[in-house]
Amino acid sequence: MKSTLCWLIAIVLTLALAYFQRRTGPTHPASGKIEVAGQSIAFKLPRSHAGEGDAEISVAVSNPLITGEISYRRYKSNDEWKTLPMIWRDGNLTASLPHQPSAGKIVYQVTLSTAANKPQPLTAEPVVIRFNSGVPLGFLIPHIFLMFTSMLLSTRTGLEALTRGAAVPKMALWTVILLFLGGLILGPIVQKYAFGAFWTGWPFGNDLTDNKTVVAFAGWLVAWLRIRRHPDRRTEAIGAAAILLAVYLIPHSVLGSEIDYTQSPPVTGASAP
């Protein structure tokens, strides 16, 4: 019963953190509702675009009398704002933002209006969308699976230590292995495909995703090395599990790769999303 309860707690915490990561990351779509000409319009504006081609921005609008336009410019640039009309087709107003190289960003604002209503922006602040080259699912899926499995096992190991269970050394070892494979092997591969660089964290940059992965792995590696020598020790496992929990409370992709177009030539670095 104790083991089952610990697994249930670990699963609930992992799912909650997975949901938090999905909802708070800078690549999660900007969504909401506004009312235009008596119609309630729900929207979901993308903040990430993978692969080749332009980024299509679409808003479902059933009333063809409602028109839309999109204003945009490259993020971190001295560009002037450009405005494109949105085309109404099959119940959607649609426009496309020009493709950018990997880590390039565009800031954009969508407004809707009618002949009798002044333009209404969908969001209070413009939305930033980041472009990437796309990641093969053969690398992306195992990376995500291993990272959240290591989160699950880390939490379960911490609970095992709290309840003075006997499996702490074995669980700690597997946590280290999964973090190493998911974060330090597959993580850089995924980043290389998406943004053209294996590593943009310390000491080469400020990418918070890379840095927090190293912190979490180092915490568990130190904990396991100490537990291996002294299997009865519990504090290290509890501390390492707490560090990993804290790491996952930091939204994913914060301080991620981006192009600074104000430099000549443009420079790719890590900054706020």
pLDDT one-digit tens code per residue, 218-236:
999 999 999 999 888 889 9
Residues 113 and 246 reside in one and the same domain: no
Strands 87-89 and 39-45: unpaired
- Say yes or no: 40 and 17 in one domain: no
* 61 shares its domain with 35: yes
Token pair, residue 144, equals 């995500």
Same structural domain, 128 and 56: yes
CA dihedral 97, 98, 101, 104 (to 10 degrees): -40
Among the candidates 132, 147, 170, a domain finishes at: 132
Which structure tokens are listed for 26? 């800078």
Counting as low any pLDDT under 50, the low residues of the chain are 271-273
Tens digits of residue pLDDT in 6-30: 999 999 999 998 888 888 777 889 9
Instruction: Tell me the residue range of the domain where 263 lies.
Output: 2-25+134-270
pTM here is: 0.81
18 plus 145 within the same structural domain: yes
Q: What's the total number of domains in the chain?
A: 2
Instruction: Give the CATH number of the domain where residue 119 resides.
Output: 2.60.40.10
156 and 103 inside one domain: no
Contact yes or no for 231/245 (Cβ under 8 A): no
Looking at the fold, whether 114 and 191 belong to one and the same domain comes out as no
pLDDT of residue 29: 92
261 in the same domain as 140: yes
Q: Are residues 159 and 259 in the same domain?
A: yes
pLDDT of res. 264? 72
CA distance 213 to 248: 9
pLDDT recorded at residue 270: 55
Residue 272 pLDDT: 39
Residues 122, 198, single domain; the answer is no
Residue after which a domain boundary falls, among 132, 167, 193: 132
Q: Which of 114, 132, 150 represents a domain boundary (last residue)?
A: 132
What is the DSSP code string of 169-217? HHHHHHHHHHHIIIIIIIHHHHHHHHHS-S--STTT---HHHHHHHHHH
The CATH number assigned to the domain holding 139 equals 1.20.120
Same domain? 53 vs 163 = no
Q: Are 76 and 144 in the same domain?
A: no
pLDDT of residue 89: 86
